[in-house]
Each structure stands twice: as structure tokens, then as C-alpha cells.
Structure 1
Amino acid sequence: MTDLPEYYFRVRENGAAVFRVDTENRHRRIEMDQIAVVNIRNGEIRPHGERSLSETDMAAIRDWMTARGALLARREIDDIHRTIDHLNLTAQWAQARASDAQLEEVTDALLLAMHDLRSVLVRKKSDRLAREAGDGAAGGEG
């Protein structure tokens, strides 16, 4: 049997159920014993049942939470890059291939979504520029 990790994390909506993996039992079967539940959003680590978690358990869980957070952040930005591609493909479709009926079906929803997105992006960019101008002014006074 290949070397298995000591812990298995069953991903859930906001985190994971954490299992300790055991292959050193008399039947040589893989056994998974749930030891905790973790919530990525609020950082909570709850022992499962009446268990207490060792420092090794806690370190493994924290390491997983850090790695998982980084993975989710990479996926999120990748999704945004894919959205940009989809917007470009949608523009090409609307210009070259869409029928009047298809355009009628999607135009209002697309215009509202793009207007909402544009408003958010313009406001956020303005906030960033204002902060940068404020930081530059504060830095020049010292």
C-alpha cells in the first residue's frame, strides 16, 4: 500500500471535516476517524465529539487551512480571468452570430449586470486612487 497522509480533509461548503487516517490496524484496512470540523471563513476549529486535539493535529489543520485559503484565492482570481474571456466571447457572439430573438432574451440582463459591475469597478478604482493620492501627500510632508 502506498504511504497515505496522516490526515484527510473532506471539503465542505465553509471548510472541512478532518479525519485521522489509520492503516496500522490489525485488518490492514484504511480507517478514517473524524477528529474535527473546521470553518475556513471564521478560522474556527472544533474537535469532533469529546476529542481533544494534539498540537500535531492543530498544526496539520492550520497548515491545511492556510493552503486551502491560498487555493481558494487563486481559484477566485482565475474565475475572474475566465469571466473576462467570457465577456469577450459574448461580445463576439452578439456581434457575429446572435439572432434578434437571442439578443432580446439576454440584452437587458447583460446590460444591468455590466452596469452594476462597471459602477462597482469605477467606485473601487476611485477609492484606490484617492488613497494613493493621500498616501503620496502624507509621505511628502515628512
Structure 2
Amino acid sequence: MVAELPDYYFRVRENGAFVFRVDTENRQRRIEMDQIAVVNIRNGEIKPHGNRKLSEADLEEIRNWMAERTALLATRDIDDIHRAVDYLNQTTHWAQSKASDEQLEQVTDALLLAMHDLRSVLVRKKADRLMRADAKS
């Protein structure tokens, strides 16, 4: 059984994608991909490629992809933060039980500065949230 290909292909790039229409309905039964647009998910911009006019179906598919991609990236972001917490815990265990004096000398200042910076931001953001919550009450 042959899997049916989607009508659109999104070549992901750092802040969006190149959008292609997939065509297999040709004489040679080859897969042809015709670029129809460039998408920027940071600013929501959809630019037709060349002199193309995007159909409503094209725009709907692109908007749906943008929404799904944005949700996926948000999920990845929070997952990365949870992993960072795990790494901090593993780093603490390493520093306490396995690290040599030379290894600690190599990383202590960088870790202390990074943790101080993170703590400052977290404390400020927490205070802002508490102030807003008090103002709503």
C-alpha cells in the first residue's frame, strides 16, 4: 500500500518555512515540489513566492501549519527549561560528589554568574507577577 503524500510541504527554517505545493499528478509520476510562499512565524508574515497568488486553501493550510508550529515550538521551549532544571540538579551532584578541584576551578565563576543572572531575572519576574495579582484583587 502506497502512502499518500500531503498537498503541501514545509521546509522548516529558523523562523518559519518555505512552503511548497506537492504534485504527483504528472505523466512521469514524479514528485514535484513547487515553492509557493515563504512564512515567518515570528511576525506572522506570509509572502507569496514570485508572482504567485495564494488561494484561500493555500492560506488556510499555511495558517494551520503556523499555529501548529508555534504550539510545537512553545512545547519544546518549556521542555528545554525542564531539562535545564535536571541539568542543574545533575551539575550540583557532580560538583558535590565527583568534580576535582581543577574541574571546579574551570566552571565555578561561569556557573555562579549564570545562576546569579537567572536568579535576578526570576525574582524580578516573580515580584512583577505578585504585584499584578495584588493590583487585580
What TM-score do the two structures reach when normalised by structure 2? Answer: 0.98
| Runs of 4+ displaced beyond 3 Å | none
Aligned mates of 1:28, 1:103 — CA distance in 2:
61
**2:37 is aligned with 1:36:** yes
Secondary structure of residue in 2 paired with 1:8: strand
The match for 1:128 is 129
Q: Which residue of 2 aligns with 1:83?
A: 84
Aligned-residue sequence identity (percent) comes to 74
Q: Deviations over 1:113-139 (max 9, x none)?
A: 000000000000000001001101xxx
Whole-Å Cα distance in 1 between the matches of residues 61 and 15 of structure 2?
18
1:47 Cα deviation after fit: 0.3
The CA distance in 2 between the partners of 1:109 and 1:76, in whole Å, is: 23
Report SS of the residue matched to 1:17. strand
Once residues 106 and 2 of structure 1 are traced to their aligned partners in structure 2, the CA distance between those partners, rounded to angstroms, is 51
- The AA in structure 1 aligned to 2:71 is A
Distance of 1:40 and 1:110 partners within structure 2: 33
1:84-140 deviations in Å (ceiling 9; x for gaps): 00000000000000000000000000000000000000000000001001101xxxx
TM-score, scaled relative to structure 1: 0.95
Structure 1: gaps spanning 5 or more residues: 137-142
Map of 1:140 onto structure 2: none
- Partner of 1:3 in structure 2? 4
CA distance in 1, matches of 2:84, 2:57: 40
What residue number does 2:58 align with?
Answer: 57
Q: Give the letter aligned to residue 55 of structure 1.
A: E
> Which residue does the alignment assign to 1:15?
16
Give aligned pairs, total. 136
Identify the residue that residue 101 of structure 1 maps to in structure 2.
Answer: 102
Q: Flag structure 2 segments of 5+ consecutive residues without an equivalent.
A: none
Partner of 1:139: none
**Alpha-carbon offset, residue 2 of structure 1:** 1.5
